[in-house]
A and B are shown apart, each in its own frame.
Chain A
Amino acid sequence: MSYMQTLLAGAAKRTFWMPETAATQAENVDGIFYFIYWLCVFFFVLIVGVMIYFVIKYRRRGAHDRTSDIEGNTRLEIAWSVIPSVLLLVMFMWGFRDWMSLNVAPEGAIDVRVTAQRWQWNYALPRHGCDGVDELRVPINEPVKLTMSSIDVLHSFYVPAFRVKKDALPNRYTVLWFNATKLGTFDVFCTEYCGTKHSTMYSKIKVVTRAEYDKWTKSGCGMDNLSPKELGPKIFKMRGCPACHSIKKGVKGTGPWLAGKYGTIETLADGSKVKIDDEYIRESIMNPNAKVVKGFGPVMPTFKGRITPKQMNALIDYIKSLK
C-alpha cells in the first residue's frame, strides 16, 4: 500500500495521465484509476507478451508443421474466469464506494445554483443575494454543493481538476459537490454536446481563502460596486449576448448586430416596422420572439427573471452607447 501512497502524494501535480488534483474526491478517484491502470498494464503485458512469445516460438517453419491437439484445459479456463471475476468485483466495489461519496454532499455545504444556458454557465449564491455570476469563487477546504439546471438543452458540468461531472437538465435539478484543496483557478468545461459553440461553453472556478471569499460575497459577488457604465458591458458579456449579437456594424451573427441600431427603424419578419427604443430592447430581452427582425429565426432564449431592473437599465444604456 505504501506504493499507493507515494502515487497519491505525487498525483497532486499533473502526471502523464491525470491533471492536477485539487479536491478531496480527486485523490480517491486517482487511487482507483491507478489501481485499474496497473491491473490493465499487467494483463496487457501478460496477454500480448504470451501472444508474441507464441508467435515467435511457434511460427510456421514448413508447410507440414505438426500442431498439437489441445482442445482446452479446464483448470486454466476456470482460473481465467474466476480470477478476473474476483478482480472485477473489487473494482466495482471500490468504484461504487467512492462514487457514493461523490454523490452525497455533506451537510452544511455552501449552496450554489448553477444555470446552464447555450453557451455559458451562470452561478447564483442565494444566501448572499448574488445572481448572474460568470466566474465562481469558492473557499478552500470547504464543501460546496452545486444545484444545477439548464434552461435549454442538456449540458454537463465538468471540472477535470476536481474529477467531478454531472449533466444539467432542463426539467430537473441535479446535484454535484466538491471540496477544493488547492488555491488557484480551475477549468470548467461543458461535456454534453449542445450545439454551435459547445466547445467555448467555458467557465472558471477560483478557489480562494475564506477571508477573500467573504469579501467577495459581501460585495455582491463582484457586481454591486460596479457603476452602470461598467455593469452594462459585464452583463452583456456574462449573459452570452456576444455569441449571437455583434457589437460591430455589419457583422451578422445568429442575431442582428447592435451597433448604431438605437433609434433606427427595423423591418420585422411579418413585414411590419418597429422603432428601436428602450421598450423594444426591454421586450426583446424579456420576450425575444415577439418581434423578430426580418431575416432571423425565433431562436433567442428569454432572460425573464434572470436580469434585475438595475442590470436591465445598465444593459439598455450599453446597447444605446454602441456606435
Chain B
Amino acid sequence: MATVTTANGHASEHHEVGSNYLNARKGVLSWLFTLDHKRIGVMYLAGTLFFFMIGGILALLVRTELLTPAGDLFQGDTYNRVFTLHGAIMVFIFIIPSVPAALGNFVLPLMLGTKDVAFPRINLLSFWIWMLGTAFLLYSIIAGSVDTGWTFYTPYSSDPQVGSQAGSAIIWALMGVFILGFSSILTGVNFITTVHKMRAPGMTWTKMPLFIWGIYATAVIQVLATPVLAITLLLLTIERTLGIGIFDPALGGDPVLFQHFFWFYSHPAVYIMILPGMAIISELVTVHSKKNIFGYKPIAYSSMAIAIISFLVWGHHMFTSGQSELASTVFSALTFAVAVPTAIKVFSWVATLYKGSISLNTPMLYCLSFLFLFTIGGLTGLFCSTLATDIHIHDTYFVVAHFHYVMMGGTVIAFLGGLHHWWPKMTGRWYNENWGRFAAALVFIGFNVTFFSQFVLGSQGMPRRYHTYHSASPDLKAIFTKWHQVSTVGSYILAAGLFITLFYLLHSLFRGKKVAEKNPWGAKSLEWLTETPPIEHNFHEEPVCLHGPYDYDEISPDGQGAGADEDDDSPLYLDKKTEAKKAEEPKAEEKKAEEKKAEEPKAEEKKAEEKKAEEKKAEEPKAEAKKAEAKKAEETKAEEKKAEAKAEAKSDDEADKDKK
C-alpha cells in the first residue's frame, strides 16, 4: 500500500515498488468515489463494454428475425422494441462515451503529462450521471419499452392518439438520454480545459499527439451540440406530458421541426462518435509502423474542420422529409465539404505507412481494418449526400450499411484497436496475441459479410426498420431473403469474433503474462513513460516534452526533418527520474552508441536513396504535364501517386542492388 497522498496530490512522496493505480487503494468504494481519471476510465470501459455486449445481443435477435421473410421470432411490436433498444443503447450508452470517456479518460491526462484531468470531481460526476441515465433508459424497458426507434420521430413518439402506445416508457427513455447528455457535456468541458491548461512543459499545440487533437475536437462538439438535444427531448417530454403543441400537428406543432432539432444534435453526434475513432487510428498507424505521421497539421486541423462543418450538415438526413428544396441543396453541398477533410485523413494515414516498419500485431490489424472499412463507409456516404441518389437509398438498408461501416467499421474497430494498444498499459497484462489476431480477422470477415450485403439489400429497395418483408413482390422477396440470410450469417461470425475477444481479454486480466516494460511498443507519447500499470499520480516527476510525439528512435535523420538538428541521442521525452536512471546505466548508453555506429553506414545509404528519389521527383512534373493533357483529373492523381510509389520503390530496389 502506497502512502496516502496529500490533498493537492503532490507526487513527491515515496512510492513502494509495485504500487499502481489499481492496487493503491482497495474496495468497491475506493472505485466508486475515486477521483483518479484512470479508474474512472476503467469503470467507463467496463460499463460501456458491457452495454456493447447487450446492444450486440439485441442486434443478433434482429438479424435472426430477418432470416425469413415472415415474422416468426417476434411480434411486430416486440421487434420494434428490440431494434429501438439496440439503437439507443449502442448510440447513447455505448459509442458516445466509449472512446472519449473510457479510453480518453485513461489516456488523455497521461498523454498530456499531467496528474489528472482539470476537474476530477466533475469527471466522477460525469460517470455517476452516465450510470443514472443508463438506469433511466433501462427502466424504460420495465415501464413498457420504447418502440419509436432511437430517433424518437414525432408525432409517433409524442401523440399516443395516433402513434406509439409505449406510454410512460417513452418519458423514461427520453429522460435517460437527456441525463446521458449531461455526462457527455461534463466530459467535454473537462477535456477542453485539461488540453488548454494542463499540457506538460514544452508540449505546444503542434507537439500534442493527434489522439488529443481528435478528442479535443470531439469535446468541442459535445459541449456545443448536446444542449440542443437536451432542449429537444425536454420539449418532446413537455408535449407528451402536458399536451403543449410543439411537434405534434394535432396540437398545431410541426413534426419536421423535431427532425431539424434532433439532427442538429445527432449529426454532430456522428462526429462525436467517429472523431475519437480517427484519433486512435493516428496513434496506432504511427506507433505500430514506427513511423512519423504523414501530415501532422492537416490531420490535426481536419479534425477541427470536421467538427465545425459537422454543425452545418444536419439537413442531409431530411432530403425526403418535405423540407424546402433550397435547404436540401445547401445541405447537400455542405455535406460534400465534410468529405474533403475526411479524405485528407485517410490519404495521410495510408501515406504514413510508406517506408515504415509495419508490425502486424493485433492493434495494427484493427488499424488496417479501420482503413479498409472506413474507406467503404466514407465512400458510400457519397451516394447519400448526392441528392438524386439519396432519394432512392434514403431509409433503406443502404443507409443502415453505410452508418454501420462508419460507426462500427470505423469507431468500434478503432476502439478495439485502441483497447488492445493501451491494454498492456492499463492492466499491466498481455492478452494472447494469437487469439487477438484470430479474433481481429474474424471480426473483419464477419463485419463485411454482415454489412456489405446490406448495401445490396438497400439499393435493391429493402426499407429499414422492417419486421417482415413478405409483402414484397416475389422476385424482390427472393433477393431480400438471400441477402438477409447472408447478412445474418455474417453477424454470427462477427459475434463469434467479439466473444472470443471478450474471453481472451478476461483471461488476460487474471492469467495474462505481466508486462515487463514501460513502453512495450516503443511509442513516443508520454503515457508510455510512466510505470506499467501507471502509478496513482501518473508520473514520479512532471515530464518535460522536448520533441514531437512521433519522432521514433528508428527514424533515420536525413537533415530535413524537424528535430534533426537536435542531439540524436537524447531521449525524446524527459522524465527526470528516468534521466537519472539512465545516468546510472552508462553501459546501456554505450551499447546504444555502438549500435548507432554500426547503423551509420546504413543511414548514409538511405541518404543516397533519398537523393535519387528526389531526382526522380524533379523529373516527374514534366512527364505529368503531358499526361495531364491526355488524361482526366482523377487519373492524374492516381498516376501521380503510383508514379511516386514506383519511383520510390525503384530507388529502393536499386539501393538493395547496390548493397549486394
Taking CB atoms and an 8 Å cut-off, the chain A residues in 75-127 that contact chain B are 76-77, 79-81, 83-89, 91-92, 94-100, 102-103, 118
* Interface-facing stretch out of B117-125, B347-355, B429-437: B347-355
Contact B394 A165 (CB under 8 A): yes
Question: Do residues B459 and A18 form an inter-chain contact, with CB atoms below 8 A?
Answer: yes
CB distance from A137 to the nearest CB of B (A): 16
| A88→B156 contact, CB < 8 A | no
A40 to B310, CA, bound (A): 22
C-alpha gap A311/B396 in the complex (Å): 37
Check if B344 sits within 8 Å of A156, measured CB to CB: no
* Cα separation A186 to B475 with both chains bound (whole Å): 11
A298 touches B468 (CB 8 A): no
Give, as a whole number of angstroms, the nearest-CB distance from B257 to chain A.
10
Whether, in the assembled complex, B372 has its beta carbon less than 8 Å from a beta carbon of chain A, the answer is yes
**Cα-based distance from A67 to B354 in the complex (angstroms):** 9
Q: Per-residue 0/1 for B328-348: is the Cβ within 8 Å of any A Cβ (1 yes, 0 no)?
A: 110011001001100110111
Q: Is B619 an interface residue (CB 8 A)?
A: no
Query: Which single member of A37, A70, A94, A174 contacts B294 (CB below 8 Å)?
Result: A70
Compute how far the CA of A266 lies from the CA of B638 in the bound complex, rounded to whole angstroms: 77
- Tell me the bound Cα distance from A100 to B385 in angstroms: 15
In angstroms, Cα B185 to Cα A222, docked, is: 60
Please provide the chain A residues from 145 to 191 with a CB less than 8 Å away from any CB of chain B in the complex. 151-154, 156, 158, 160-161, 163-167, 169-172, 174, 185-187, 189-191
Task: State whether A33 touches B389 (Cβ < 8 A).
Answer: yes
Other-chain residue from A39, A58, A166, A170 in contact with B249 (beta carbon distance below 8 A): A170
Interface centre among A32, A92, A96, A204 (most CB of B within 10 A): A92
User: CB of A55 within 8 A of chain B?
Assistant: yes
Asked whether, in the complex, the Cβ of A50 is within 8 Å of the Cβ of B641, the reply is yes
B388: contacting residue among A99, A200, A204, CB under 8 A: A99
The interface size bin for chain A is 35 or more
B358 pairs with A54, CB closer than 8 A: yes
Task: State whether A71 and B292 are in contact (beta carbons under 8 Å apart), knowing that A76-B641, A298-B161 are contacts in the complex.
Answer: yes
Asked, given contacts A58-B357, A67-B555, whether A154 binds B255 with beta carbons under 8 Å apart, the answer is: yes
Contact in complex: B473, A199 (CB < 8 Å): no
Give Cα distance in the complex from A194 to B164, angstroms.
Answer: 9
- Verify if B386 is at the interface (C-beta below 8 Å from A): yes
Question: Can you list, as one digit per residue, whether each of A229-253 has a CB less than 8 Å from chain B (1) or not (0)?
Answer: 0000000000000000000000000
Quick one: which of A7-49 are within 8 Å of B by CB? Answer: 14, 16-19, 28-29, 32-33, 36-37, 39-40, 42-44, 46-48
**Interface pair B353/A54, CB less than 8 Å apart:** yes
- Check if B391 sits within 8 Å of A48, measured CB to CB: no
Shortest distance between the CB of B120 and any CB in chain A (Å)? 36
Q: In the complex the two chains form, what is the Cα distance from A185 to B465 in whole Å?
A: 24
Cβ contacts under 8 Å, A16 to chain B: 456
A contact residues around B371 at 8 Å (CB): 47-48, 51
CB–CB A102/B292 < 8 A: no
Known contacts A95-B388, A169-B256, A299-B165: A196-B77 contact under CB 8 Å: yes
**Other 14 A-B pairs with CB < 8 A, given A88-B382, A165-B391, A171-B254:** A17-B460, A19-B476, A40-B380, A53-B645, A60-B290, A64-B599, A69-B555, A69-B561, A76-B644, A83-B636, A88-B336, A92-B386, A153-B163, A191-B395
What are 23 inter-chain pairs, A to B, with CB distance below 8 A?
A32-B389, A33-B383, A33-B459, A42-B634, A48-B375, A50-B350, A53-B645, A54-B356, A64-B554, A65-B290, A67-B554, A67-B555, A69-B555, A72-B298, A79-B637, A88-B340, A89-B336, A91-B385, A95-B390, A165-B320, A166-B320, A185-B473, A199-B467
Can you list the 5 inter-chain pairs with the closest CB atoms, starting with the nearest? Answer: A160-B461, A65-B357, A95-B386, A171-B249, A99-B387
Give the interface of A toward B (CB within 8 A): 14, 16-19, 28-29, 32-33, 36-37, 39-40, 42-44, 46-48, 50-51, 53-55, 57-61, 64-73, 76-77, 79-81, 83-89, 91-92, 94-100, 102-103, 118, 151-154, 156, 158, 160-161, 163-167, 169-172, 174, 185-187, 189-200, 202, 204, 297-299, 301
